[in-house]
Chain A
């Protein structure tokens, strides 16, 4: 079972990142990935993981394509790839309109922006770009795309090495996988394709508290248009409609929704949910840690490892 874990979405200290990386290295965790919420850099964090691991894959989940020129994204990725001897997974995404707007970023057509960015980064990584006179002899890292809709899943199949959806139900995951396969068959890439799925985790023996934490924790996501769309596509149109009409997401989200889309509650319950997503086609579930009560980042990581074991 290949399961990846992310570090906390809202960031943590370098000391905690190192501690989590060491825990991951001594566990069955396949890959340790960093989110990118400024002022944290996913690539800088992944470089820290690279310094403190020997076997665990490291990567980004996910780097915002609008924050770096593709050549600099490739340059930083190559440094991590060199540090790790080829263990980098480069996750790329378009982030969210409200986030980018606040940073003065005009997203244009996100699908076409992503297509161009991935193709550019790949050409720098494999040395085929004629813009670069300096060459680094490093094996290209696989590129993953964050995708919540069928169109982006198809694009991932066509130009990337994997797809990184988040908050998708098992049924929606199956559709995305099918679209990625369609894209693969129409593209020219012949590398292995990895279907991941992002699963937020709220692990605790206290189920009520875990559900409460999950509703609170996921309510922020439910305000973002892209996640509203994936929730609709996952069968939660009514809940999203209610939020769009002004209901506070923390009141609109239900225990059923969070139990369907996240790992919530005691270890055994979380293992069962994880198994459902693997059965639905996830080659590598990606668990994002969230505290229940006053759990520290390291305590949350220890609980996730228990679920994976």
Chain B
């Protein structure tokens, strides 16, 4: 069975929409539904809403910012979703972006070491091995949830392979994904490991509008430092330079970039690109829907479901 995950809208939506999206994703046969975390929304709170509304689909975060909660609280909240969902929780963790964290007064320190320490602690709280429980003897008897790390570079991909159960890259082309997967695999050994691939999606029968939305959508994300790096590693350094020099996304973002990194246009025309992800080693593409025109969250979901038809 092909496993395809989707996310809820990056810029959030109402609880009513979250519930409907989760139920629709479950009925349609998606493998998992994940919530992004852009303040003033909490990915874990959203995952809890979706866990309450569903019975079988995997529920998760894509991705929770490690600087927003102490590891024990992140573990506690993930454990509650794990308990509600009876073992369907996937905790995606990331460092977010320096400009975002700067706004909230967060000093990221060494991002790599911060992630290593955070994941290690969360695992120890979740599996009960932390010495915290020597003083507070209230272990929760739950199966441990899977942890995925956003890995946009070879180093973080290797860290995911070493410590986590999966990797969650985004905006990486097929070649760079292969590099990341290889790095993760070098450390993950024989353990079960999820190689996901995050793709922005702009689906509409109106190709011109979809292309326009894709250029603007990707253009807005492209200048975040970590995305700049992954786009450069994917061979699009020239486009980053154009964007940095003030060229508008509509002009700077090339057809090649859209074709390699996004799904856009008519759903039926995107199947080959989706298949290419699996052929490239992805075990679960994660599709992030963006509105084309005035599409509502549920209309975006209708378009995503067509991919499974």
Chain A residues in the interface with B (C-beta under 8 A): 10-11, 13-14, 37-41, 43-45, 47-48, 51, 64, 66-69, 71-72, 74-76, 78-80, 82-83, 99, 102-103, 105, 124, 131-132, 134-136
Of B43-51, B107-115, B146-154, the one contacting chain A is B43-51
Contact A136 B40, CB 8 Å, known A14-B84, A47-B48, A69-B67? yes
Q: How far is the CB of A121 from chain B (nearest CB, A)?
A: 11
What are 30 A-to-B residue pairs whose CB atoms are below 8 Å?
A: A10-B138, A11-B140, A13-B83, A14-B80, A14-B83, A38-B75, A38-B76, A39-B75, A39-B79, A39-B138, A41-B77, A43-B77, A45-B80, A67-B69, A67-B70, A68-B68, A69-B106, A71-B39, A71-B40, A72-B65, A72-B69, A75-B40, A76-B45, A79-B42, A83-B15, A102-B132, A131-B39, A131-B104, A132-B39, A136-B40
Interface size of B as a range: 35 or more
Q: Is the CB of B125 within 8 A of A75?
A: no
Bound complex: CA A13 to CA B142 (Å): 10
Bound complex: CA A78 to CA B140 (Å): 26
Residue B38 at the A interface, CB < 8 A? yes
Q: Is the CB of A134 within 8 A of B39?
A: yes
Chain B residues in the interface with A (C-beta under 8 A): 11-12, 14-15, 38-42, 44-46, 48-49, 52, 65, 67-70, 72-73, 75-77, 79-81, 83-84, 103-104, 106, 125, 132, 135-136, 138-140
Bound complex: CA A82 to CA B135 (Å): 36
Contact A103 B132, CB 8 Å, known A39-B138, A72-B42, A79-B15? yes
Task: Give the 10 A-B residue pairs with the shortest CB-CB distance, closest first.
Answer: A44-B80, A79-B45, A67-B73, A75-B42, A72-B68, A41-B76, A39-B76, A38-B72, A71-B39, A41-B77
Tell which of A39, A41, A132 has the most Cβ of chain B within 10 Å: A39
Chain B residues near A82: list those with CB within 8 A. Answer: 14-15
Q: Is the CB of A41 within 8 A of B12?
A: no
Chain A residues near B106: list those with CB within 8 A. Answer: 69
Contact A69 B69, CB 8 Å, known A44-B48, A79-B45? yes
Known A14-B84, A40-B76, A67-B73; further 6 A-B contacts with Cβ < 8 A: A38-B132, A39-B138, A45-B80, A72-B68, A131-B104, A134-B11
Chain A residues near B12: list those with CB within 8 A. Answer: 134, 136
Q: Give which listed residue, B40, B73, B80, contacts A48 with CB less than 8 A.
A: B80
Bound complex: CA A69 to CA B69 (Å): 6
Chain B residues near A11: list those with CB within 8 A. Answer: 138, 140
Q: How far is the CB of B137 from chain A (nearest CB, A)?
A: 9
Chain B residues near A105: list those with CB within 8 A. Answer: 70
Chain A residues near B46: list those with CB within 8 A. Answer: 79
Bound complex: CA A43 to CA B104 (Å): 21
Q: Give which listed residue, B11, B40, B65, B70, contacts A78 with CB less than 8 A.
A: B40
Q: Give which listed residue, A45, A68, A124, contacts B73 with CB less than 8 A.
A: A68
Q: Is the CB of A134 within 8 A of B38?
A: yes
Q: How far is the CB of A119 from chain B (nearest CB, A)?
A: 13
Q: How far is the CB of B99 from chain A (nearest CB, A)?
A: 12
Contact A38 B41, CB 8 Å, known A68-B73, A71-B104, A136-B12? no
Q: Is the CB of A51 within 8 A of B70?
A: no
Q: Give which listed residue, A13, A43, A75, A99, contacts B39 with CB less than 8 A.
A: A75
Bound complex: CA A79 to CA B50 (Å): 12
Q: Is the CB of A75 within 8 A of B41?
A: yes
Chain B residues near A78: list those with CB within 8 A. Answer: 40
Chain A residues near B40: list those with CB within 8 A. Answer: 71, 74-75, 78, 124, 132, 134-136
